[in-house]
Structures are given as structure tokens and as C-alpha cells.
A and B are shown apart, each in its own frame.
Chain A
């Protein structure tokens, strides 16, 4: 299996621009998680989906962030408008066993907002 695929791997944008991060989970996995990692706050869960349905989005920082999962093999995390404080590494992870099972992380997208 190819593992969790994320794109782009690096994104540099200017404040105010829209940013879209993409994730393809491992085939057959019905849970998908979006995390953000910064030095200050560590690894934070933003939102997770089960069978394409958002289950908990309480970690989404504010209305500028939105996530969708239109089908079992694709999810997006959008930031509009982006701000410098959004600079972080964003990870997508998937699993087939719910939150009590192993999560397989993608390589991450390093976002820099200037």
C-alpha cells in the first residue's frame, strides 16, 4: 500500500491567501484525522471523519478553517484567509479501527504563511 498521501509537501503563501491541503487515506480506512503540529502547541487534532462524516471538529481553531471529505479516498483542509500564525506542519492520518487503533500518518504539509 502507498500509505497516506498528502499534497503539497511544502506550501509558502502570503497572508490573506487561500490555502488548500489535500489528503488521500489508506484504502479501506474509514477514519481520517487532520492534525496540526507546532513547536509551541505540539500535535493538535483539528477534526476527524468517520465514513466521510465529520465527527468532531472542536479542534478547528476558527471559522477560517474548514475541512471536507467528499469521498472515502479524498479529504481537504482549507484555510481562508491564511495568517502567519497558521504556519505549521499539517498531518493527515487514517485508521480502520477507530480512535483506539493505530493511526497511520502521512508525510505532512509544511505551511509557511508570510
Chain B
């Protein structure tokens, strides 16, 4: 089940804040956030694990509500370099086969000067 991201696109001015949401219809073990610039590969931003553990960049902030099966990525004081498409990937199981990351369709963020 592909997670649903919202909004699909957002346009900001430099310095403005944005929140990108990711929701799943299934219970989640972890949520992963990646950013992809046009014509480039996705780049890791953050992982949020069930139980509260987080791995990621210090300047990136995100939350994971296990009960609501939702995660949000917070982009504050946006810079031009934040432009790109943000993907959340969800992992439902952690077991012998470890499960597979299923990515949402992405949120396109454009930061204007």
C-alpha cells in the first residue's frame, strides 16, 4: 500500500516554512524521507523508527505518529537549495526478510527568491 503524501506541490518564498505529510493505511515500523532534485538521484534525509528513534540530518526535523500512521517533515526558513521533490518511504514490517520500502508519489517543493 503506497503511502499518500500531501500536498502534491508547494511553492515557497525564501525564508518561509513548509510541512509535508505522509500517511499510511497500515501500521508502520519506520518512515524514511528522501529528497530528489531534477535529474538526480534521491538523497537520504531522515529515518524515523517505531519507538522514537531517529536518524538523519541535524537541520531536518520530522515527526512520526505511530498511532495515526503518519509522518510529517518540517522545513523551516526555507532556502533555494531546498527545492526538489520529497519522497516518504514506509516500511511496514521488520522481520526475517526485513520488508520493503514503499515510496509515496512525492511532494514537489519550489523555493523562490
Q: B-contacting residues of A (Cβ < 8 Å)?
A: 42-45, 48, 50, 55-56, 58-59, 91, 98-108
Q: A91-B41, A91-B42, A105-B42 are in contact. Are A100 and B94 (CB under 8 A)?
A: yes
Cβ of B2: which chain A residues have Cβ within 8 Å of it? 42
Is the Cβ of A100 less than 8 Å from the Cβ of B41? no
Report the nearest A residue to B105, measured CB to CB.
A42
Inter-chain CA distance A55–B93, complex, in Å, is 14
Offer 9 A-B interface pairs, CB within 8 angstroms, sorted by A.
Answer: A42-B2, A43-B42, A44-B103, A91-B42, A99-B101, A101-B55, A102-B47, A103-B32, A103-B44
Q: A-contacting residues of B (Cβ < 8 Å)?
A: 2, 29-30, 32, 40-44, 47, 49, 55, 87, 89, 91, 94, 97-106
Is the Cβ of B43 less than 8 Å from the Cβ of A105? yes
Q: A42-B105, A45-B100, A55-B98 are in contact. Are A102 and B41 (CB under 8 A)?
A: no
| Nearest CB in chain B: distance from A11 CB, A | 16
Inter-chain CA distance A98–B103, complex, in Å, is 16
Is the Cβ of B103 less than 8 Å from the Cβ of A43? yes
Cβ of A104: which chain B residues have Cβ within 8 Å of it? 44
Q: A42-B106, A102-B55 are in contact. Are A107 and B41 (CB under 8 A)?
A: yes
Report the nearest A residue to B100, measured CB to CB.
A45
Cβ of B29: which chain A residues have Cβ within 8 Å of it? 100
Q: Which of A42, A44, A50, A99 contacts B91 (CB 8 A)?
A: A99
